[in-house]
């Protein structure tokens, strides 16, 4: 609760510094939005994801059921695929842009540009990669950050000045913030590992993951895919090392580190190890 109050107070201090030129109602709403950003429930996140998806779908031409792109996508993926509590749905935006994205509610969107560029196995990897961002909860974090950013924009927009006019012109760009926000390198690696796992689980050629990233590495600078994803060439090398037995997936690396730490404590500090197990069952 203290953190929520601090966030709201900081935003209010920002927008009320010149209260003579401040839209108090909008500033108050911004402060409340900042608090909400810290307290978003899973249901809230899924609702925001659904709204953002609808916004993007309206901005693009969707491939109809009879489109060769939709028919190809249907051949590549089972439409009702589910992983845990996440049920995925897939569609294509008719755009020459080389890109793909996912939303926290399981929505996967491919652009026709990336479908023109990649083979079937390579597309399966891209789809699996985007699914990985959902399964690993990366997008939930992005939504909370984007929601907080929209609260800041709203706070600035409450100022009756040029800066406020500028902020008002971009207020409501929550969906855009989600698209432009980058994943961390660790998150991209985890999503790549899931994409590779997705290929293996479907008994598809795993090296398609490597060739997909190699092709994407050849894109010209300025492509939105490159601006929102770390170097595909290095990511291809990492996956190739896994396939050749020279590296471990991120999840296995974490388990290996935990295993070694547990063994160290058990041998050198058994009393401490016993106490830690009470609070961290994963150490048992």
Work out the average pLDDT over 58-85.
87
How would residue 25 be classed by pLDDT, with cut points 50, 70 and 90? very low
* Average pLDDT taken over every residue of the chain: 75
The angle formed by the CA atoms of residues 255, 261 and 265, to the nearest 5 degrees, is 145
Structure tokens at 231: 């170097």
Tell me how far apart the alpha carbons of residues 261 and 217 are, in angstroms, rounded to a whole number: 37
Give the C-alpha separation, 191 to 133, whole Å: 5
Question: Which 3 state secondary structure label does DSSP give 182?
Answer: coil
**pLDDT, average across residues 185-204:** 93
Q: Phi and psi for 152 in degrees, rounded to 5? A: -65, -45
Q: Is the pLDDT confidence value at 131 over 70?
A: yes
Residue that wins the pLDDT comparison between 248 and 236: 236
Share of the chain above pLDDT 70, in %: 64
Indicate which residues carry an active-site annotation: 130
How many angstroms separate the CA atoms of 179 and 182, rounded? 8
pLDDT, residue 23, reads: 46
Q: What is the pLDDT of residue 261?
A: 72
The lowest-confidence range among 50-59, 69-78, 117-126 is: 50-59
- How do the domains of the chain map onto residue ranges? 2-243, 250-283
Q: What is the pLDDT of residues 208-238, one digit of tens each?
A: 999 999 999 988 665 656 555 678 999 999 9
pLDDT reported for residue 1: 43
Q: Is the pTM of this model over 0.75?
A: no
Between 5-9, 165-169, 197-201, 209-213, the lowest mean confidence (pLDDT) is in 165-169
As given in the structure block, the two tokens for residue 240 are 């190739």
More confident of the two residues 176 and 200: 200
């Amino acid at each position: 609760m203290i953190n929520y109050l601090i966030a709201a107070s900081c935003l209010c201090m920002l927008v009320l510094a010149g209260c003579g030129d401040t839209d108090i109602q909008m500033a108050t709403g911004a402060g409340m939005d900042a608090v909400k950003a810290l307290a978003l429930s899973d249901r809230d996140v899924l609702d925001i994801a659904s709204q953002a998806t609808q916004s993007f779908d309206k901005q693009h031409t969707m491939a109809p059921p009879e489109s060769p792109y939709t028919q190809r996508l249907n051949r590549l993926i089972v439409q009702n695929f589910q992983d845990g509590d996440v049920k995925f749905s897939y569609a294509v935006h008719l755009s020459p842009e080389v890109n793909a994205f996912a939303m926290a509610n399981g929505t996967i969107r491919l652009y026709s540009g990336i479908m023109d560029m990649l083979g079937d196995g390579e597309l399966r990897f891209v789809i699996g990669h985007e699914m990985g961002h959902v399964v690993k909860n990366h997008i939930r974090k992005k939504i909370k950050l984007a929601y907080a950013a929209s609260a800041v924009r709203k706070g600035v927009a409450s100022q009756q000045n040029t800066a406020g006019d500028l902020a008002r012109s971009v207020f409501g760009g929550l969906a855009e913030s989600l698209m432009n926000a980058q994943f961390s390198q660790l998150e991209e690696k985890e999503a790549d590992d899931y994409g590779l796992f997705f290929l293996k689980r479907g008994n598809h050629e795993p090296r398609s993951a490597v060739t997909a990233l190699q092709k994407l590495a050849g894109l010209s600078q300025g492509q939105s895919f490159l601006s929102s994803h770390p170097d595909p060439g290095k990511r291809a090398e990492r996956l190739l090392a896994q396939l050749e037995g020279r590296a471990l997936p991120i999840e296995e690396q974490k388990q290996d580190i935990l295993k070694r730490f547990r063994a160290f404590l058990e041998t050198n500090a058994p009393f401490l190890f016993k106490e830690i197990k009470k609070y961290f069952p994963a150490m048992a």
